[in-house]
């Protein structure tokens, strides 16, 4: 990460320049991702034209479909056409649905974002207090309990957890719906399922960095000054110990947005993760390129956000 | 810390606290969504390949065709035993040379956009279907049409390149759905998500997920308006999720319930599991272009070595109909007198010895569905009994259909769905020399068979035609390019509140008269 501690520039202006520079710097990366996506879809077994035409198309129909989709052109030409469109802000049209790739993505994005943010809120809202509790009871039973919880959170497969939650809370107790994302009640179980991994990471990260911070000189100094233990813990130790937690939580946002395939599948939520999966399975080249590009963009933005947050949590950190 | 504790029913104020807790629970429950009780909406879930498009000229899957039937209509319809009955056409006749078909169209039919259904609309729909620039996947089923002529407002004439007896039945294929020319011209790609037809329900939107759709009752439907006001269609990508939705009463009807979920659903009192024979046949195909599978003795030997009954019982849980050949009992051309090779390991060993085949290893391709992998393992153990090794190669479906069309395998599993209820498409598309390299994945090619397959097409008298189909089928069964696994059944989980739903053999939803309690 290319942020540095530096002088006394005006924070606002530098932040904006910093964000812009980071986004522009990500362009080659994003372009590379479209190329990789393009090559992958073309080189894995399975002919996109055959998938569109269906297993029962005769040879003539297959060739018509191939020509109509432009799949008969040489690969470099197909990619050049894609780039040409991209420059004009177009991502092309889905082979399967005949809708524009952008509209397909934008219809699903709010759902994925909502789910990811809800999961992140749970992860932070529960994970940080758990981590703090564990750090304060360092070595005690509470610490052990939180560690066990964290191991469970990291190792229980989402697939299994989701089905268990559906079984108890939806089928048996009828408290929450089994699928969809139409109201806040629909959000509870999937967000809970999706949050577990990040929650465990956040709890562990908070615990270990807080334990470390509590042993630092500045904490000892604060205590020696006679500050109340609560102030020492929260204002001095935790604030400093939060940097790694922010990194973990922030970087996981990108994952939560594009990588919620299992949760989206079990709870039948048509989000970005499933869109991408379906696009790959259907060899829908424009849709694969578009959605991967979009997911990558989310990662880039999440990274930049994390860097900006560092500055907010610790004003000593400046961008250059 | 607040020390007063209201939440435990065992404290000093136990009774009052408990009362409050009950009140709280009741209040929360009242706030929760009432999952059921939208009495006039039929909520259909389906566990199959996701819906791709509702445009009959873009669709390539059976699922697309099935759901199209809610909103779009064909000139003829198949009744429950597969014979064509009037739908948008009221009557038809064929010329003496069997090359011209004349249809009288139903009068007073309007499209969902208010325009009139007439001969021009029929002409437009079929010309779009056949237009090379569209490249409709269903085009190949209608390639026999040379011209569509709008004779007058309500008479349309089809000219065919050759006498083609199954023409009427082929009009029931989803490719033959009639769309509103006005709507298509205004927004050609829009037909994928909002097709405009004449059916009892209007598609409001196929959601961007392409896997769910909402439809509303069409009040001006020519056959009288439907019993339900709204239909929602939603894809369930995960088996257990589909069952949970059915059990939690969040869907009224689960179409294509996976066979593995039947015992769970069966155990619930207010949900019924319906089954009906489908037009879908299952088979194990041989790559007949590759030695030693080019030898009919080897193919017959392997057919004798595979216990189809055990596959039906142990993998498909009895949800299958055994028959020889690719034509099931609910289709025109079915021949009950055909006999499949039958399970006979002894005979299998003899035939293999006769063909001089030893230490045979078969490269078997299948795609990644758990039931199909289990089936492969069962077949593997059966073949081991006759000294044949089955090398199971599990693919992902999109790769699988390409690789099998290229002939990369020795043997493969696949199903074949006929949406016209007539034997012809199977006979002409799956086994003829012309289709090797695309639809004919087993690469079976026999001049003798080709002649038989062609002969039945031009025979206009149904009985004589059935006899000719039977000749072709006998030839096939003797030559064994496929191991005949019989036909699939549709499995549908239906809540008791749904009344009047019956499974159509095509899987299509003719549910105008369905109501919900």
Q: What's the rounded mean pLDDT across residues A97-103?
A: 88
Q: Does B414 touch chain A (CB under 8 A)?
A: yes
Q: Identify the closest residue of chain B to A68 by CA–CA distance.
A: B133
Across the interface, whether the CB atoms of B134 and A266 are under 8 A apart is answered no
- pLDDT at site B395: 94
Q: What's the rounded mean pLDDT across residues B123-152?
A: 94
CB B121 within 8 A of CB B111: yes
H or E, element range at B182: helix B181-186
Which residue of A44, A166, A270 is in closest CB contact with B211? A270
Give the tens place of pLDDT for each residue, A125-155. Answer: 999 999 999 988 888 888 999 999 999 999 9
CA distance B401 to chain A (A): 6
Q: Does B41 touch chain A (CB under 8 A)?
A: no
- pLDDT at site A3: 41
Average pLDDT along chain A: 86
pLDDT band at A11; cut points 50, 70, 90: low
Which chain A residues touch B32 with a CB distance below 8 Å?
175-176, 185
Across the interface, whether the CB atoms of A166 and B53 are under 8 A apart is answered no
3-state helix, strand, coil in chain B (%, to 5): 35, 25, 45
Tell whether the model's pLDDT for residue B18 goes beyond 70.
no
Q: Is A71 left (phi over 0), alpha (psi -120 to 50) or beta?
A: alpha
H or E, element range at B17: helix B14-31
Q: Does B55 touch chain A (CB under 8 A)?
A: yes
Across the interface, whether the CB atoms of B137 and A65 are under 8 A apart is answered yes
Q: Does A98 touch chain B (CB under 8 A)?
A: yes
Residue B43 bridge partners (DSSP): B232
Q: What's the rounded mean pLDDT across residues A205-224?
A: 86
Q: Identify the closest residue of chain B to A267 by CA–CA distance.
A: B241
pLDDT band at B4; cut points 50, 70, 90: very low
- pLDDT at site A40: 86
pTM of the model: 0.84
- pLDDT at site B32: 44
Q: What's the rounded mean pLDDT across residues A14-31?
A: 84
Size of interface A-B (CB pairs under 8 A): 161
3-state secondary structure of B477: helix
């Amino acid at each position: 990460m290319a942020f540095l501690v530096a002088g006394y520039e005006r924070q606002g202006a530098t932040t904006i320049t910093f964000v812009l520079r980071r986004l522009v710097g990500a362009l080659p990366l994003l372009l590379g991702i479209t190329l990789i996506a393009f090559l992958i879809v073309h080189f894995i077994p399975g002919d996109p034209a055959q998938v569109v035409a269906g297993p029962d198309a005769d040879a003539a129909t297959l060739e018509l479909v191939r020509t109509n989709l432009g799949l008969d052109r040489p690969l470099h030409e197909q990619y050049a056409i894609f780039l040409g469109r991209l420059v004009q802000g177009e991502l092309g049209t889905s082979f399967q649905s005949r809708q524009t790739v952008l509209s397909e993505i934008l219809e699903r994005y709010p759902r994925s974002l909502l789910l990811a943010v809800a999961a992140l809120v749970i992860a932070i809202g529960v994970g940080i207090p758990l981590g703090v509790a564990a750090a304060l009871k360092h070595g005690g039973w509470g610490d052990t309990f939180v560690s066990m919880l964290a191991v469970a959170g990291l190792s229980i497969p989402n697939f299994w957890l989701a089905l268990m939650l559906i079984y108890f809370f939806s089928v048996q107790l009828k408290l929450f719906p089994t699928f969809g994302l139409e109201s806040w009640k629909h959000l509870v179980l999937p967000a809970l399922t999706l949050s577990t991994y990040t929650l465990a990471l956040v709890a562990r990260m908070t615990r270990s960095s807080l334990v470390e911070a509590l042993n630092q000189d500045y904490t000892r100094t604060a205590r020696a000054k006679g500050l109340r233990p609560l102030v020492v813990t929260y204002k001095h130790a935790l604030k400093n110990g939060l940097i790694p937690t922010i990194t973990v939580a922030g970087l996981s946002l990108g994952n939560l947005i594009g990588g919620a395939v299992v949760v989206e599948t079990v709870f039948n939520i048509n989000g970005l993760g499933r869109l991408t999966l379906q696009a790959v399975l259907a060899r829908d080249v424009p849709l694969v390129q578009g959605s991967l590009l979009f997911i990558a963009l989310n990662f880039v933005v999440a990274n930049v956000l994390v860097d900006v947050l560092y500055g907010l949590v610790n004003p000593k950190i400046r961008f250059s | 810390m607040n020390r007063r504790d209201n939440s435990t029913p065992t404290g000093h104020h136990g009774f009052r606290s408990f009362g409050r807790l009950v009140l709280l629970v009741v209040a929360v429950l009242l706030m929760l969504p009432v999952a059921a009780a939208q009495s006039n909406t039929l909520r259909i879930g389906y566990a199959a390949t996701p819906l791709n498009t509702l445009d009959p000229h873009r669709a390539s899957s059976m699922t697309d065709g099935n759901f199209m039937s809610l909103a779009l209509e064909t000139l003829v319809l198949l009744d429950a035993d597969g014979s064509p009955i009037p739908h948008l056409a009221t009557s038809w006749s064929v010329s003496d040379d069997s090359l011209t078909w004349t249809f009288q169209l139903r009068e007073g039919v309007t499209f969902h956009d208010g325009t009139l259904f007439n001969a021009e609309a029929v002409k437009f729909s079929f010309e779009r279907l056949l237009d090379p620039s569209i490249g409709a996947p269903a085009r190949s089923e209608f390639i026999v049409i040379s011209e569509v002529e709008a004779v007058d407002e309500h008479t349309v004439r089809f000219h065919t390149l050759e006498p083609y007896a199954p023409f009427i039945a082929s009009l029931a294929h989803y490719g033959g759905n009639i769309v509103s020319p006005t709507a298509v011209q205004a927004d050609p790609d829009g037909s994928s998500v909002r097709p405009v037809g004449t059916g009892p329900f209007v598609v409001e939107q196929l959601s961007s997920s392409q896997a769910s759709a909402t439809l509303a009752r069409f009040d001006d439907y020519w056959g009288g308006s439907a019993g339900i006001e709204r239909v929602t269609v939603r894809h369930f990508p995960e088996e257990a999720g589909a069952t949970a939705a059915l059990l939690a009463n969040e869907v009224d009807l689960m179409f294509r319930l996976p066979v593995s979920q039947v015992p769970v659903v069966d155990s619930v009192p207010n949900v019924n599991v319906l089954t009906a024979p489908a037009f879908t046949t299952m088979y194990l195909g041989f790559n007949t272009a590759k030695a030693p599978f080019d030898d009919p003795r080897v193919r017959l030997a392997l057919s004798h070595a595979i216990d189809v009954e055990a596959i039906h019982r142990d993998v498909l849980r009895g949800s299958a109909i055994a028959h020889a050949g690719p034509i099931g009992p609910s289709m025109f051309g079915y021949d009950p007198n055909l006999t499949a090779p039958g399970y006979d390991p002894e005979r299998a060993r003899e035939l293999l010895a006769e063909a001089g085949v030893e230490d045979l290893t078969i490269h078997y391709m299948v795609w990644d569905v758990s039931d199909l992998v289990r089936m492969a393992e069962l077949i593997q153990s059966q073949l081991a009994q006759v000294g044949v090794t089955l090398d199971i190669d599990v693919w992902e479906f999109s790769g699988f259909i390409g690789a099998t069309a290229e002939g990369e395998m020795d043997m493969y599993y696949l199903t074949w769905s006929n949406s016209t209820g007539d034997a012809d498409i199977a006979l002409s598309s799956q086994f003829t020399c012309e289709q090797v390299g695309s639809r004919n994945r087993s690469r079976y090619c026999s001049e003798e068979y080709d002649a038989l397959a062609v002969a039945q097409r031009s025979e206009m008298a149904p009985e004589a035609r059935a006899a000719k189909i039977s000749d072709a089928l006998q030839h096939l069964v003797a030559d064994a390019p496929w191991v005949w696994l019989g036909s699939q059944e549709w499995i549908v989980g239906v809540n008791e509140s749904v009344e009047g739903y019956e499974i159509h053999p095509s899987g299509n939803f003719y549910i105008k008269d369905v109501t919900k309690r």
